[in-house]
Structure 1
Amino acid sequence: MNSLRDGYTALVAGASGAIGQAFVHHLQRDPRCAQVIECSRRSDPPIELDNESSLVRYAQAVTAQAPLHLVIDATGALSIDGHGPEKRLEDLHAVRLQRAMMINAIGPALLLQQLQPLLASGERVIWAKLSARVGSIEDNQKGGWYGYRASKAALNMLLQTTAIELARRRPLAVLAALQPGTVRSALSAPFVGEAALDPLQSVAGLLAALDGLAPSGRAHFIDYRGKAIPW
Structure 2
Amino acid sequence: MSTLASLPEGYRAAVIGATGAIGGALVQALQADARCGGVHAFSRRSAPALDLLDEASIATAAAHLREQLPGPGGLHLLVCATGVLQLGPRSPEKRLADLAPETLARAMALNAIGPALVLKHFCELLPLKERALVAVLSARVGSIGDNRKGGWYAYRASKAALNQFLHTAAIEVARKRPLAVLAALHPGTVQSGLSAPIIGDAEATTPPVAAANLLRVLNGLQPTDSGGFFAWDGTAIAW
How far residue 202 of structure 1 moved from its aligned partner, in angstroms, is 1.3
Q: What secondary structure sits across from 2:50 in the alignment?
A: coil
> What secondary structure does 1:226 align onto?
coil
2:37 is aligned to 34
Equivalent position of 1:195 in the other structure: 203
Q: Within 2, Cα distance between the matches of 1:119 and 1:43?
A: 21
Which deviations, in whole Å up to 9, do the C-alpha atoms of 1:119-142 show, x marking residues without a partner? Answer: 122100000010000000000010
Number of residue pairs the alignment of both structures matches: 231
Distance, in Å, in 2 between the alignment partners of 1:93 and 1:74 is 26
1:10 aligns to what?
Answer: 13
Structure 1: runs of 5+ lacking an equivalent: none
Q: Counterpart of 2:196 in 1: which secondary structure?
A: coil
The correspondence for 2:50, drawn from 23, 47, 50, is 47
> 1: distance between equivalents of 2:66 and 2:215?
25
* Deviation string, structure 1 residues 84-116 (Cα, Å, up to 9, x no partner): 211111000001100000000001101110111
CA RMSD of the aligned region, Å? Answer: 1.0
- Contact 1:163/1:217 (<8 A) preserved: no
Aligned mate of 1:212, from 213, 220, 224: 220
SS at match of 1:216: helix
Higher deviation after alignment, 168-177 or 199-208: 199-208
Structure 1 position 218, deviation (Å) = 3.8
Is residue 4–residue 124 contact of structure 1 (8 Å, CA) maintained in 2? yes
Residue type matched to 1:203 in 2?
A
Percent pairwise identity: 54
Secondary structure at 1:79 match in 2: coil
Q: Which moved more, 1:212-221 or 1:145-154?
A: 212-221
Does structure 2 retain, via aligned residues, the 8 Å contact 1:164–1:217? no
Distance 2:211 2:234 in 1: 11
1:143 aligns with 2:150: yes
The 3-state SS of whatever aligns with 1:191 is: helix
Structure 2 distance, partners of 1:175, 1:133, is 17
Q: What is the CA-CA distance between 1:194 and the residue it aligns to?
A: 5.0
How far apart, in 2, do the equivalents of 1:19 and 1:31 lie? 20
Deviation string 1:2-23 (CA, Å, 9 cap, x unpaired) is: 0100000000100000000110
Question: SS state of the match for residue 198, structure 2?
Answer: coil
Give, in whole Å, the separation in 2 of the partners of 1:163 and 1:217: 10
> Could you tell me how far 1:65 is from its partner in structure 2?
2.2
Equivalent in the alignment of 2:27? 24
Question: What secondary structure is seen at the aligned counterpart in 1 of 2:78?
Answer: strand
1:136-165 residue CA offsets vs partner (Å, 9 max, x unmatched): 000001000000000000000000000011
Q: Is the 8 A contact 2:180 2:226 kept in 1?
A: no
Q: CA contact under 8 A between 1:28 and 1:36: conserved in structure 2?
A: yes
Corresponding residue number in structure 2 for 1:61 = 64
TM-score (norm 1): 0.97
